[in-house]
Amino acid sequence: RKTFAPNLKQKELDHPPPKPRKVDDEFELISSYWVPQGTLEPFDQAIADPVTNLKKFVLTPSVEINLRHVARSVVIGKYPLLLQGPTSAGKTSLILYVAARLGQKCVRINNHEHTDIQEYLGSYVSDKDGKLTFQEGVLVQAVRLGWWIILDELNLAPSEVLEALNRLLDDNRELFIPETQTTIQPHPRFMLFATQNPPGLYGGRKVLSRAFRNRFIELQVDEVPPKELQQILQERSALPPSYCSLLITIMLDLQR
């Protein structure tokens, strides 16, 4: 089940956008959506390596469904995307796959209960001459330069971190830096993604407020089915099918 921000028109996601009038190297076709490319060299991790015949990313049926949701959200580009699901469901790897395929620079912040707002926004540091200069945080760089950013484990982040994101996530779409008293407007290519495990099922995860979550398009990412796990293992490791099946069986037994 997919949940959308209440102010998002359903038709924006149900119908693919029109094909660009001039399709060239600036667009990449992903799940029937023409998605703008970034500034780096595109790399499709789902294509097998010509030497090893192994893949870095495997497109299974359930992954294809999630990929389509991500692609159309990126094309719309108005809202950040929150992926919620269990550990190892492929939330972060899916975004990294899309970024690599588009040649889009993508950075990550792995949140925890002690995450400092300075990691996001930056702080003053001494340069080689002993002068204080402001060193931009990862989020500031991403906003200014048009990178994608993934905020992993969002519901582990302290409240002050979440509050600092409010202006960037609302309709104004701007980032205020208190240390420099400056406001940055996002680069057109900038996009924010977040991932989290469901609160209540994992320790320390807080329940985000409805008002905060309503700023996101929310995508539920379920566990990868056992048959698809076996496919992933085979195509990434080249192990015999019987070995892959045994490993998946052992993993499922340990989870019970």
pTM greater than 0.85: yes
Q: With 90 as the cut, is the pLDDT of residue 8 above it?
A: no
Distance in angstroms (rounded) separating the CA atoms of residues 149 and 170:
17
Pick the CATH number of 2-224 from 3.20.20.450, 3.90.1150.10, 3.40.190.10, 3.40.50.300: 3.40.50.300
Give the residue extent of every domain in the chain. 2-224, 227-256
> Per-residue pLDDT tens for 83-140?
999 999 999 999 999 999 999 999 999 999 999 999 999 999 988 888 999 999 999 9
Which tens digits make up the pLDDT trace of 142-195? 999 999 999 999 999 999 999 999 999 988 899 999 999 999 999 999 999 999
SS (H, E, C) the chain: CEECCCCCCHHHHHCCCCCCCCCCCCEEEECCEEEECCCCCCCCCCCCCCCCCCCCCCCCHHHHHHHHHHHHHHHHCCCCEEEECCCCCCHHHHHHHHHHHHCCCEEEEECCCCCCHHHHHEEEEECCCCCEEEEECHHHHHHHHCCEEEEECHHHCCHHHHHHCHHHHCCCCCEEECCCCEEECCCCCCEEEEEECCECCECCCCCCCHHHHCCCEEEECCCCCHHHHHHHHHHHHCCCHHHHHHHHHHHHHHHC
| Residues 206, 199 contacting (CB under 8 angstroms) | yes
| Per-residue pLDDT tens over the stretch 226-248 | 999 999 999 999 899 999 999 99
